[in-house]
Amino acid sequence: MSCKRRCGAQWWHGKVKDCGYRITSGREAIIEALSVTQDHLSAEDVYTRIHDKYPNVGLTTIYRTLDMLVNAGLVFRFDFGDGKSRYELTEGPKGAHHHHHLVCTECKRVIDYTDFIDDELELLRSTEKGLSEKYGFRIDNHLIQFYGTCTDCLAK
């Protein structure tokens, strides 16, 4: 039973196919898992979340698929300092929802924030422009994280 048969075309199919990759049910499941949460999932988190519905998707496939999706630009890989990579969609069915992170170094909690982005955007653009010119770099992306202590941990 082909994947096309099982499920209608999805917003991300084009991007995956354009990169020469096939659409499979494992990939379906993994993108689904990432798109229904706000959390920053590890490979194993993804495994746990899809295992009931897709018991035949192995952890190896998840690692491979996440790498593939990072390459295809559909997923970001983050490191919040807990020893495992964490993943997040770069965009959903409704388009991009770029944001930055606030990381508590005590309890490792991570807050997404999108406010202030408008102010930052202006500076980011000019910084990126300046850097590309000076270093001949083509900049496709950026990572901005603030580290500190969250309200809860401050209370202690």
Partner DNA sequence: TCCTTAATGGAAACAATTTCCAATAATAAG
Partner DNA sequence: CTTATTATTGGAAATTGTTTCCATTAAGGA
Touching a copy of itself, residues 101-140 (CB under 8 A): 102, 104-105, 111, 113, 115-116, 119-120, 123, 126-128, 130-132, 134-140
Q: Decide if residue 148 touches a copy of itself (CB under 8 A).
A: yes
Q: Which one of residues 33, 43, 75, 89 is an interface residue with DNA (CB under 7 A)?
A: 43
| Residues 18, 136: Cα–Cα separation, whole Å | 28
Among 12, 34, 61, 80, binds DNA (CB under 7 A): 61
Residue 10 engages DNA in binding (rule: CB under 7 A) = no
Distances (CA, A) of 112 to 5, 19, 99, 101: 37, 29, 6, 5
Whole-angstrom distance, CA of residue 112 vs CA of residue 115: 9
Minimum CB separation of residue 78 from a copy of itself in Å reads 9
Residue type at 118? D
- 32, 35, 39, 67: residue in contact with DNA (rule CB under 7 A): 67
In which residue are the tokens 């898992």 written?
33
Is residue 66 within 8 A of residue 77, CB to CB? The reply is yes
Binding site for DNA (CB under 7 A): 1-4, 17, 21-27, 42-44, 56-61, 63-65, 67, 83-85
